[in-house]
Chains A and B, each alone.
Chain A
Amino acid sequence: MAMHERLSFYAKRDSILHRLNPLTKLTLVFGFVLISFFAPFYWTPHLLILSGVIPLSFTGKVAREYFNASLRLILPAAGFLFIMQALFQPLEGEELFRIGFLHPTKESVMFAFANAMRIFLMVSSFTLFLLTTHPSELMSDLTRRGLPGQFAYVIISTIQILPQMQAKAQTIISAQRSRGLDTQSSFLKRAGSLIPLVGPLVFGSLVEVEERAIAIEARGFTSTKTKTSLHEIPDTNSDKMIRWILAALVLISLALRLWLS
């Protein structure tokens, strides 16, 4: 299933990018996104993708996985947004063509393109982050920096439960199909089949909650002691430097935006 691949995105390699501290990479992602929104130049998101994210995917030795994900998952979403906005955004300007009440202008196409590129930048830089950072590494590092341990539990647990749940959903759907569920049948029939699909899925997963709560309580989940971590996540001086540089770039682009407008 597509989602399963995406959730366990991590590609184990030995690269500079993999060795960076998770927070540094996270700063990189947020830095790119904020700069693309703040900087007052039309070409900012395009430039960041071409000279930032794509080269980094080679540095991280995950270029193949990166392009694969971009083409299959991110590009279609960004493309759809582009078409919707280009056609429907009623911006004044040079009219390109007219079908019915639609009359996209050069301005609306430009606007749509920039927006789609921002979405592309946002998601593809995050994808790169997930490709080069193991979730438990990220959570260990953030917990060490003060994120409550329960958050780490929720995030990783969700990532692991979700594929199980989807597999169950798939099983239930095929079981119902063999009993005559038809996704082409009438609306009322489809609506009526929702309950027998959802019921077993929901109740089955809810009954597990109590025992799992007992199991993790038995292992000190609510302990008030300062938590320690099995993994040691290195945080070097160059990590710190990269983070400061990015923060500075974000501030500069914000200043430019305020100054130029």
Chain B
Amino acid sequence: MLNNIKKDFNTMTWVLIPVAIAINIAIGQIVVTLKLPVFLDSVGTVLVGVLCGPWAGALTGALSNTIWGIAIDPNALPWWPVAFFIGLVSGFMAKGGWFKSWWKVVVTGFVVALTAAAASTPIAVYLFGGITASGSSFITAYLMQTGLGVFQAVFSTSFLVEPVDKITTAMLAFAIVQGLSRRFIARFPRPENVEDEGGANQTQLYIAIGVVVLLVLFAAFMLRNILGG
């Protein structure tokens, strides 16, 4: 296992990681400039996870968050484990073949969102007592007012916010991979993760949109159950 991890860290990986971190931060800031209601601050992390394996993705996420915290917003600092798991899980999803077509990428994005929600909840609860410096804490505060426990309130909030962001992130990373030449991708440790499955792109895109709708419905349903319970 350790040897396999070592193989994932070839020179291409080490050179890609700083670029990926810069991509994370640059896209994150463009999104702020455009005033879009998403973060999109882990496109690079997902990219590394997919092309270089889970542990490289995890390292990218953790470093990215730390540097973001030092350079831009100190409040981002404590969240590095979330970014770590985003990289890790996208890497494992890609390894399992879940990054080869549009609709599969949507599922990957959803799983990454669940991971992010799960990883951020304990940090928000134990470090911040539930209310953080993020705008979505308005929702948490409201949910707590309605009598929900702090754990449930925080998790439901993430569950509401994360899927849109992470599915968009995964799709953006996929679009980037599609735009890279195969000979370039072949230099990275895991080119097999993004091998083309064939099939028309249009059809896949429609399926992807269908999956997004289903996932949103599923999320709403789950949320009602959590809130009801």
Contact = CB atoms under 8 A, between A and B. Distances in A.
Query: A and B: direct contact (Cβ < 8 Å)?
Result: yes
Nearest to A4: B71
Interface stretch (B23-31, B104-112, B213-221): B23-31
Interface in A147-168: 150, 153-155, 157-159, 161-162, 164-166, 168
Interface stretch (B14-22, B84-92, B113-121): B14-22
Interface string B110-148: 000000000000000000111111000110111011000
Given A78-B74, A191-B36, A222-B11, A162 B25 contact: yes
Nearest to B127: A115
Interface of chain A, helix or strand or loop or mixed?
A: helix
B130 A119 contact: no
Interface residues of A, number: 63
B15 A209 contact: yes
Contacts of B36: 187, 190-191, 194
Contact of B133 (A77, A154, A166): A77
A138 interface: no
Contact of A201 (B23, B74, B145): B23
Contact of B15 (A73, A80, A155, A216): A216
Contacts of B132: 81, 84
Interface band, chain B? 35 or more
B11 A221 contact: yes
Interface of B: 9, 11-12, 14-19, 21-23, 25-27, 29-31, 33-36, 43, 63, 67, 69-75, 77, 128-133, 137-138, 140-142, 144-145, 172, 175-176, 179-180, 184, 187
Interface of A: 3, 6-7, 73-74, 77-78, 80-81, 84-85, 87-90, 101, 111, 115, 119, 122-123, 126, 130, 150, 153-155, 157-159, 161-162, 164-166, 168-169, 173, 183, 187, 190-191, 193-195, 197-199, 201-203, 205-210, 212-213, 216-217, 221-222
